[in-house]
Amino acid sequence: MKNEVSRRTVLRSAGFATAAAVLAPFGAAASPLLVNAGRMPELKPLPSAPPIRLGLAGYTFRNFDRAQLIGYMKTLHIDALNAKDVKDHLPLEPTQEAQALADYAAADISLHAAGAIYFDKDDITGIRTKFDYCKRAGIRVIVAGDPSPNALPLIAEAGRDYDMRIAIHNHGPEDKIWHSPLDVLAAVKSMDPRMGCCIDVGHCVRAGVDVIDAIHAAGPRLFNMHMKDLTNFTDKESQVAVGEGKMPVPAIFRALQAINYDGFVDLEYEVHADDPMPGVISSFAYMRGVLEGMQAAIARA
């Protein structure tokens, strides 16, 4: 797969057809997305609620190097990255990390979160090394994968000292501890307010938890969202581009607005790892279409 995807390829993508379909129920007021399909729509904040901000989970492009990742993000008109130490995206080694940060800055890409970062041991030195890694990058949200329950007090202490949010990621029914966001919330409910969750919507529904209920339950402890779609809520392998499955994306966005969510919704497209761009284009087109339709509905109200 080439590093650059041409604008013609983007325009011919099924993603714009998907956007047209999702906009249809909102009427003609949403038509600028279709008329100006050659560019990504500029979305204004909805009244009395923070805007829904779309970002990219770098794991989506785990088989591609940093230069390719940056090229794809430019094509997608996405400048917000949830970075991960995979390939050379954001190395742990400080000198290499500094070079990565310089490359992102030159491309006008901001890093709003990092993860998943694993805290499987209650080792304060190891924990703080990972916080230092994020501090050097100016990252304020750590997406924590499978933290040991014994490590939670040490993670919370570091979160206070570094003034960083810790978003514990749920990993579905296969996870021994953190099946759903509700398990995370039960563990952190009496802890420092910087301790919260990252809702992975796919793993959430596979754990048998309604994602809308989980968003409302999390409220101010929701710090990050991983967006994906499934055609079967019990089958991990049924992932498709966002908008092609059963995930209630419009309802998810409305729930995020209802709780005044101020984080990012990061696309994590985990299938077709060697050729993810068609599904990624379609996913962003669908989500942008939903948001454009929501704007149009507000304007008509």
Q: What is the pLDDT of residue 22?
A: 41
| Whether the Cβ atoms of residue 273 and residue 239 lie closer than 8 Å to each other | no
Long-range own/partner contacts, residues 72-78 (CB < 8 A, 24 or more apart): 72/3, 72/5, 72/277, 72/280, 73/107, 73/109, 74/107, 75/4, 75/5, 75/7, 75/10, 75/277, 76/40, 76/280, 76/281, 76/284, 77/39, 77/40, 78/54, 78/284
| Whether the Cβ atoms of residue 49 and residue 257 lie closer than 8 Å to each other | yes
79, 90, 190, 88: which is closest to 142 by C-alpha?
Answer: 90
- Dihedral sign computed on CA atoms, order 102, 86, 226, 286: positive
Q: What is the pLDDT of residue 5?
A: 43
Report the C-alpha gap between 73 and 284 in whole angstroms.
Answer: 11
| Whether the Cβ atoms of residue 250 and residue 294 lie closer than 8 Å to each other | yes
Q: What is the pLDDT of residue 301?
A: 74
Cβ neighbours of residue 275 closer than 8 Å, sequence gap 6 or more: 1
CATH number of 51-277: 3.20.20.150
Q: What is the pLDDT of residue 11?
A: 35
Looking at residue 121, what DSSP letter applies?
S
- CA within 13 Å, CB half, 9: 14
Q: Domain ranges for the chain, please list them.
A: 51-277
The tokens describing 49, both together, are 């609620």
Q: What is the pLDDT of residue 300?
A: 83
Q: What is the pLDDT of residue 282?
A: 98
Report the C-alpha gap between 151 and 144 in whole angstroms.
Answer: 11
Q: Looking at this protein, which amino acid is placed at residue 79? A: D
pTM (two decimals): 0.85
pLDDT (tens place) for every residue of the chain, 301 residues total: 444 344 333 333 434 444 444 433 333 333 333 323 344 545 555 556 678 999 999 999 999 999 999 999 999 999 999 999 999 999 999 999 999 999 999 999 999 999 999 998 899 999 999 999 999 999 999 999 999 999 999 999 999 999 999 999 999 999 889 999 999 999 999 999 999 999 999 999 999 999 999 999 999 999 999 999 999 999 999 999 999 999 999 999 999 999 999 999 999 999 999 999 999 999 999 999 999 999 888 778 7
| Whether the Cβ atoms of residue 231 and residue 205 lie closer than 8 Å to each other | no
301, 213, 271: which is closest to 60 by C-alpha?
Answer: 271
